[in-house]
Structure 1
Amino acid sequence: MAATDPVLTRPQIDDALAGLPDWRYRLGALVTVYKTATSAAALELVAAVGRVAEELDHHPDLDWRYNRVFLRFTSHDAGSEVTAQDVRAAAAASAAAADAGAAAEPGLYRSVEIGIDTEDPAGISEVWRVALGYRKGRFGDLVDPYGRGPGLWFQETNTPNVNRLHLDIHRGKAESAAVLDKTAATGALMNRDHAPDWVVVTDAQGNRLCLCTEENHEPDLPEQAPEG
């Protein structure tokens, strides 16, 4: 990545995404999924994206799953944020996918983070970093340097929940409504105080998760889910 490439603001990213219908914004990256007719065609798409990445000298996190290819572009040299280089690479990958006859399924790209309620993030973060083999992220969070495991972040609060750990499940805004409706139909408690950025879901035993959308740059949890 060229050193002069600036980090794009969220409005700039949204403007870029208007011309990239196959892609979504997600936690400092552009992400999508492509479906091909066969696993062999998916492997050919992987090779095509690899050639594009070499030409641009900008490489994605890529996961091949039978006839689907999961892609994530971020600029590590810019602090794992989105730059114009990611936009160019996403456009080139889309062109390669179109040539391969692949169909975009960006709604399949889910990102999962683990949140931990704590009164003192600094007092515990190093334990988790060393144990997981992670590195420090953009905002005091921890990330897998190889992009394999879920991210980990620390919810600083003087009133930690009884269940200190929760999951943040990130989807694109366009895909979140159906998931929220299906989750509500299970009988879970749905705290929508911060919608559409995120909705806090509490199951019958008090365990929490957040259903988050790309509407919010860095979703967070309220200190306490409301009692139902």
Structure 2
Amino acid sequence: MSCTHDHNCEDHDCSSDWSLYKHIDLSKVSALNEAVSGSVKSVFKAWDQRLQSSEHLESNEGDPELLVFVPFTSDVKIKSISIIGGPDGTSPSKMRAFTNREGIDFSDVQNMQAVQEWDLVENLEGVLEYQTRFSKFQGVGNITLHFPDSFGGDTTQIRYIGFKGEATQLKRDVVATIVYEITPNPSDHKTRNEAGGIAHIGEH
């Protein structure tokens, strides 16, 4: 894969090419049970900045559960998810994913079947990625990540969340409009016999 980004690619994978960071609708990202309102936005950053952790998302003291809602500007296909947690047992120990469900809360996720669940490990260096069941992560307009617990810490800390995959480049409403416009209208395509031999404008 060729690299067109403004950074040095020292390997052939060039992870930034797969990054969906630029397709996240950051203004609409939200989290439930975050100790500092709006801090969830700080965990989404470019791949090569993933270890810059001056800010982070943290749950309220004594309640390590977090719910993170991430909308995209276009439908995406998610291949893998990266999570960098905090030290001293504050990294999330499990992750559950729900796709294309808006406005769900903690009571909802207890009763809903996740698209996929992962047992996480404490990943402070940002070298681990959790593969998705790719066929179940097609046409994702938004994803909700549920982190039910930490590795024993009083809070859960998340310093980076990254998605890799592909984007359609088209917003959902744009896709619908294009499909509508290119659907042929039979009345616009009368045959010469149906038209009774009447010439269309521009014919001679």
TM-score (structure 2 length as normaliser): 0.27
User: Relative contact order, CA 8 A, sep 6+: which one is greater?
Assistant: 2
Higher helix share goes to which structure? 1
TM-score (structure 1 length as normaliser): 0.25
